Amino acid sequence: MGDNLEDLIITAAICGAEVTKEHNKAVPYAINEIVNEAEKAYAAGASIIHLHVRQDDGRPTQDLNRFQHVINGIKEVCPDVIIQPSTGGSIGMNIKERIQPIYVNPPPEMATLDCGTMNFGGDDIFINTENDIIYFAEEMIKLDIKPELECFDKGMIDTVLKLHKKGFIKSPMHFNLVLGVIGGISADVRDLVFLIESLPNDATYTVTGIGKYEFNMATASIIMGGHARVGLEDNIYISQGLKAKSNAELVKKIVRIANELGREIATPNKARQILGLV
């Protein structure tokens, strides 16, 4: 199998906006904690760091200066890693607040672009109107940032394809297929195949399984030729009932699975080639 598939790009989502130290004490808040987790995940095999930042007390923030300090710190310890800031932020933030991380200097190579509104349970609504999506996409085009298209359901892929036809999103596109979120598509292989078969032939994709679905969905993606995202943002356990000690531990588990399945691990520079960043 491995001879016919691209090297596996592993993304490490190291802290997110919602998970806390109360969930898992390894979740990083402070700048040095986030940098340390990024360095260890990179050393374990991650070529992309999906980046949120937090205040020292754990509150999520999209503050440009905070992102700049964290990115500078990560680049000092692993200069070739791809850093992918989140423009999702957290629920309740407006789009002007959420987009701030793309304005770091120099601009990031990639950033996330959420492609639809989500009901996250209770009264939590993650709003991404069509005009919001267009605004994020146009700003990324101006700065030559490749969007990772965050799709939580099939309709979001359809939205991307429509906006692509209108010129707001360029080819080749890179998707993150997120399964298992409340309000989104369920995390089973049937639905993953459905999403993958809905993508353009020249697109690349990463798969994110939330919570207990993380490794099942990542393994399915490895087998089908996609890429994988893991990290404490999405899942705090290394196995059932056992909390992960670090993001690196989650990355290492994916590396072991990929090795067993004959899939090579992409270096950051190889990832850039696969994603069309060079």
What are 174-186's pLDDT values in tens digits?
999 999 999 999 9
Over residues 127-183, the pLDDT tens digits come to: 999 999 999 999 999 999 999 999 999 999 999 999 999 999 999 999 999 999 999
Once rounded to an integer, what is the mean pLDDT over residues 214-240? Answer: 98
Rounded Cα–Cα distance for residues 248 and 232 (Å):
10
Which domain covers residue 52, as residue numbers? Answer: 2-273
Does 187 fall in a domain? yes
> Following DSSP, what letter does each residue of 106-135 receive, concatenated?
SPPSEEEEE-S-EE-STT-EE---HHHHHH
Dihedral (CA of 201, 206, 210, 213) sign? positive
**pLDDT for residue 4 is more than 90:** no
Mean pLDDT, rounded, of the chain: 97
Structural domain tally of the chain? 1
Q: What is the pLDDT of residue 180?
A: 98
Model confidence at 1, pLDDT cuts 50, 70, 90, reads very low
SS3 136: helix
Does 155 fall in a domain? yes
Does 122 fall in a domain? yes
Model confidence at 114, pLDDT cuts 50, 70, 90, reads very high
Closest to 145 (Cα-Cα) out of 46, 277, 272: 277
Once rounded to an integer, what is the mean pLDDT over residues 187-199? Answer: 98
Does 278 fall in a domain? no
CB 68 within 8 A of CB 94: no
**pLDDT for residue 7 is more than 90:** yes
CATH code of the domain containing 150: 3.20.20.70
Over residues 15-54, the pLDDT tens digits come to: 999 999 999 999 999 999 999 999 999 999 999 999 999 9
Does 34 fall in a domain? yes
Does 213 fall in a domain? yes
Does 51 fall in a domain? yes
Once rounded to an integer, what is the mean pLDDT over residues 227-238? Answer: 98
Dihedral-angle region of residue 55 (phi above 0 means left; psi in -120 to 50 means alpha; beta otherwise): beta
How many Cβ atoms sit within 10 Å of the Cβ of residue 155? 12
Q: What is the pLDDT of residue 2?
A: 41
